[in-house]
Amino acid sequence: MKDFRDYSLLCHNTFGIDAQCQRFVEFASVKELQTLVRSLTTADQPLLVIGGGSNLLFTADYPGTVLHSAIRGVEIVDSDLTNHYIRCGSGETWDDIVAQCVSNGWYGAENLSLIPGEVGASAVQNIGAYGVEVKDLIVQVEAVEIATGRQVSFTNVECCYSYRKSRFKDDWKGQFIITYVTYCLSKTFHPRLDYGNIRAALAEHGISEPSATELRNTIIAIRQAKLPDPKIEGNAGSFFMNPIVSTQKYLDLIHTYPTIPHYTVDTEHEKIPAGWLIDQCGWKGHTLGKAGVHDKQALVLVNKGGATGADIVHLCDTIRQDVLQKFGIEIKPEVNIL
């Protein structure tokens, strides 16, 4: 177990904000985590559990203890006629898991390629992209209860997953630290190609029926083409969630904006791309002080160099107000602002 005091979080957030925490602890096993939580005192509060820091925006130093999982390991724990069940340590890098699944013929995660972050965070955030959410794959989430140090496990249903949400973000927030996640991967490849520009990107290479590797490589290429490298420009990927509006609201909008993109959620709701809304407000490629909107993807806010967390929040709030005023739609940050 690694334990540091007055620790810089610069390397633990992809926005490149040099915030500090009072204490930073990294645990490498369930036993270490149990020992840790049972030893915590009021002086260690508040607690913050982080993964790769790709969904965080620090606006100040963190006044408590930051915990990070270094629990590794990937193993098949069960198989049946159609699926493999893969148990992964919460400290594993998510995209490494996707790469391993594709390589081994464990299918279903291809569309989630190159999403930053770690396994534990995938189960908290319900990460998703290109028509797939990780809730479609999660079978079981194992955790340690902070108050007692006891091991617990939850089924997919118990986690109450929805769009970018789970009980770990709501009523269970601050109660558990995830240690392992078990995913169900298919033995048969069933490509999901109808979201976004996947088919068009494949067609550019003369591919109509891709292999899992070809689909993964295409997803990676699409993401790399529109998302900035956080090592060059600090960012957290998609900063805003795509708003879900009523079907009536969508029908009202198409009278004024007949080409507005949308994805049907159910008979009563449509999802509108937040990036399109922001772009229509004229923000793509523009800056506000040292913070800006990426010139290839309006959903991404970037640190243009030397921006503070407050600078990013100011840009976020200004964009939200513009979208609300123009479309009557409230967009909400996907990023955890601290």
- In a domain? residue 9: yes
Number of domains in the chain: 3
Are 64 and 115 contained in the same domain? no
Residue 164 has pLDDT above 90, yes or no: no
Using CA atoms, how far apart are residues 68 and 12, in angstroms rounded to an integer? 10
Query: Residue 186 catalytic?
Result: no
Pairing of strands 56-57, 47-50: unpaired
pLDDT band for position 202 (cuts 50, 70, 90): very high
Q: Decide if 135 is inside a domain.
A: yes
- Is residue 288 a part of any domain in this protein? yes
- Residue 109 is predicted with a pLDDT of 96
**Residue 124 pLDDT exceeds 80:** yes
The mean pLDDT value for 240-263 works out to 90
**295 and 239 in one domain?**
yes
Shared domain check, 327 and 239: yes
Q: Would the pLDDT of 80 be above 80?
A: yes
Helix H or strand E segment including 276 = helix 274-280
- Per the residue annotation, which of 164, 166, 216, 320 is the catalytic one? 164
Mean pLDDT over 268-293 rounds to 92
- 135 and 56 fall within a common domain: no
| 144 and 167 together in one domain | yes
The rounded mean pLDDT for the chain is: 93
Contact 104, 88 (CB under 8 A): no
What Cα–Cα distance (Å) separates residue 192 from each residue in 127, 153, 238, 281? 16, 30, 21, 31
User: What crossing angle do the helices spanning 212-226 and 94-104 adopt, rounded to 10°?
Assistant: 150
Residue 323 has pLDDT above 90, yes or no: yes
Confirm whether 198 is domain-assigned. no
Residue 196 has pLDDT above 80, yes or no: no
Q: Would you tell me how many other CB atoms lie within 10 Å of the CB of residue 203?
A: 11
Using one digit for the tens of pLDDT, what is the confidence trace for 31-77?
999 999 999 999 999 999 998 888 899 999 999 999 999 999 999 99
Q: Which two tokens stand for residue 118?
A: 């770690």
Q: Is the pLDDT of residue 126 over 90?
A: yes
CATH code for the domain of 240: 3.90.78.10
Residue 193 located in a structural domain: no
pLDDT at 242: 92
Domain boundary among 69, 97, 112: 69
pLDDT at 178: 97
Alpha-carbon distances of 329 from 31, 207, 242, 245, rounded to whole Å: 47, 38, 10, 8
| 180 has pLDDT over 90 | yes
How far apart are the two ends of the chain, measured CA to CA in Å? Answer: 25
Question: Radius of gyration of the chain from Cα atoms?
Answer: 20
Residues 78 and 64 in one domain: no
Are 40 and 121 within one domain? Answer: no
pLDDT at position 208 is 87
109 in any annotated domain? yes
Answer yes or no: do 105 and 164 share one domain: yes
Last residue of a domain, one of 69, 88, 115: 69
Question: What's the pLDDT score for residue 52?
Answer: 86
Q: Domain of 82: which CATH number? A: 3.30.465.10
One-character DSSP codes across 201-241: HHHTTT-SS--HHHHHHHHHHHHHHHS--TTTSEEEEE-BP
Tell me if 229 is assigned to some domain: no
**Residues with Cβ < 8 Å from 7, sequence gap 6 or more?**
20, 21, 23, 24, 66
Indicate which residue of 54, 90, 113, 238 is catalytic.
238
Active site residue 320: no
What is the pLDDT at residue 133? Answer: 95
- Residue 308 domain flag: yes
pLDDT at 262: 87
User: What is the per-residue pLDDT for 51?
Assistant: 87
Q: Residues 300, 252: one domain?
A: yes
Q: What is the CATH number of the domain that holds 64?
A: 3.30.43.10
Same domain, 99 and 26: no
Q: What percent of the chain has pLDDT over 70?
A: 100
pLDDT band at 237; cut points 50, 70, 90: confident
CB 244 within 8 A of CB 270: yes
- What pLDDT, on the 0 to 100 scale, is given for residue 228? 85
Q: Which of 20, 41, 69 lies at the terminal end of a domain, its last residue?
A: 69
Distance CA 139, CA 25 (A): 28
pLDDT tens digit sequence for 18-33: 899 999 999 999 999 9
Of 118, 133, 233, 334, catalytic: 334
Please tell me whether residues 64 and 78 are part of one structural domain: no
Range(s) of the domain holding residue 143? 74-186
Residues 111, 64 within the same domain: no
Q: In the block, which residue shows the tokens 């088919």? A: 199
The identity of residue 178, as a single letter, is I
Whether 238 is catalytic: yes
Q: What is the pTM of this model?
A: 0.84
